[in-house]
Amino acid sequence: MNPDLLSATQSSEKNAASLPLTLHWIFTGIFLVTVGLVGYEVWSGSLLPRKAGNLQALLLISATASTLTSLWRRLPGQNVLLAAAIIAVLGGAVQTLGVLASIPFGPFIYTGSAGAQLFHTLPWTIPLLWVVVILNSRGVARLMMRPWRKMRTYGFWVIGLTAVLSVIFDLGLEPFATRVRHFWLWDQTRLPLDWYGAPITNFAGWFVTALMIMAFVSPSLVNKQPSRKSWPNFHPLFVWALLNLLFVASFVHNQDAGSPGAIARQLWAAAGFSAVATVTVVIFAVRGARW
């Protein structure tokens, strides 16, 4: 091969490989700045609702972009886009069914705070939310299961643990979305148990939906050309934990509840659960990654 052509080819491959890393750091930086701004907003209550809505949209977009570019560093771009499309379509379809038929989550309606609605039914933010939750929960599950990655049933354990972590995330999301930000409202049901208005069927629905999505998306997330040394990827844990801690901060200092001490009266259970769950998951994920 012509040396000049070989050099040009190698340079092109190097530039192509550096693009995912560059974009990843850019979007992760935007995500971090936005988390800080949203955290300041929920703590001080100093921003107008319109600006707060813009920040929340930017938080979701940057979290999605940071998550996808992190995957792009390890998988071909077409696989990442296919996985995101599958999750967004399936998650959006199930949420639309939930709005129209109250299946599988229970009766609820979206408010204008959740964002502009597609076909007057589904806020545009919801498919992105599913992408962030599923991909980062899967990444955390892989860290936790890393010591057993050579087991034949490893893939099934990752799928099941991803669904569990998605439900844990939703247990923090629900009080944030309904009591702090009013993204959606739950109608009363005859079920005796609920979590800040969300019926128990909601979490069963999240678990089943996450399992279904993982069953369809997992083949596109398999690296067909794995490297000899697969280093643990802590980015999913970083995003998953940071968002949960943002929920905790909003519970501790909930302006909508009327005082900074709202945790003692309304959201103490949500704050306590999210804090303990986040710390526990981080410990097990780091422990698993070190093996």
DSSP 64-104: HHHHHHHHHTTS-HHHHHHHHHHHHHHHHHHHHHHHHH--S
> What integer pLDDT is reported at residue 280 of this predicted model?
98
* 185 DSSP 8-state letter: E
> Is pLDDT above 90 for 289?
yes
* 187 DSSP 8-state letter: P
Short-list 241, 246, 288, 239, CA closest to 141: 288
> Is pLDDT above 60 for 260?
no
> What integer pLDDT is reported at residue 175 of this predicted model?
94
> What integer pLDDT is reported at residue 263 of this predicted model?
47
What CA–CA distance (Å, rounded) separates 198 from 126?
A: 17
Is residue 122 domain-resident?
A: yes
What CA–CA distance (Å, rounded) separates 106 from 184?
A: 12
Q: What is the average pLDDT across 100-109?
A: 95
> Is pLDDT above 70 for 7?
no
35-44, 134-143, 206-215: which has the minimum mean pLDDT? Answer: 35-44
Domain count, the chain: 1
> What integer pLDDT is reported at residue 42 of this predicted model?
73
Is residue 128 domain-resident?
A: yes
Give the confidence band of 132 by pLDDT, cuts at 50, 70, 90: very high
Task: Please state whether the predicted TM-score (pTM) of the whole model is above 0.85.
Answer: yes
Is residue 66 domain-resident?
A: no
> What integer pLDDT is reported at residue 190 of this predicted model?
87
Is residue 34 domain-resident?
A: no
Q: Which is more confidently placed, 48 or 118? A: 118
What CA–CA distance (Å, rounded) separates 61 from 79?
A: 19
Q: What is the average pLDDT across 25-35?
A: 96
Is residue 14 domain-resident?
A: no
| Residues listed for the chain | 291
Burial 152-185 (b: 16+ CB within 10 A, else e): eeeeebbbbbbbebbbbbbbbbbbbbbbbbebbe
Identify the three-state secondary structure at position 124.
coil
Is residue 205 domain-resident?
A: yes
> What integer pLDDT is reported at residue 16 of this predicted model?
53
Short-list 1, 135, 140, CA closest to 64: 135
> Is pLDDT above 90 for 138?
yes
Contact 246, 42 (CB under 8 A): yes
Domain range spanning residue 204? 76-289
Identify the three-state secondary structure at position 110.
strand
Q: What is the average pLDDT across 33-41?
A: 89
Q: What percent of the chain has pLDDT over 90?
A: 71
Is residue 145 domain-resident?
A: yes
Is residue 202 domain-resident?
A: yes
Q: What is the average pLDDT across 262-288?
A: 87
> Is pLDDT above 60 for 255?
no
What CA–CA distance (Å, rounded) separates 270 from 90?
A: 28
* pLDDT single digits (tens) 144-186: 999 999 999 999 999 999 999 999 999 999 999 998 889 999 9
Q: What is the average pLDDT across 248-270?
A: 66
Q: What is the average pLDDT across 243-253?
A: 89
47-51, 62-66, 248-252: which has the minimum mean pLDDT? Answer: 47-51
* 221 DSSP 8-state letter: G
Q: What is the average pLDDT across 57-84?
A: 96
Residue-averaged pLDDT of the chain: 88
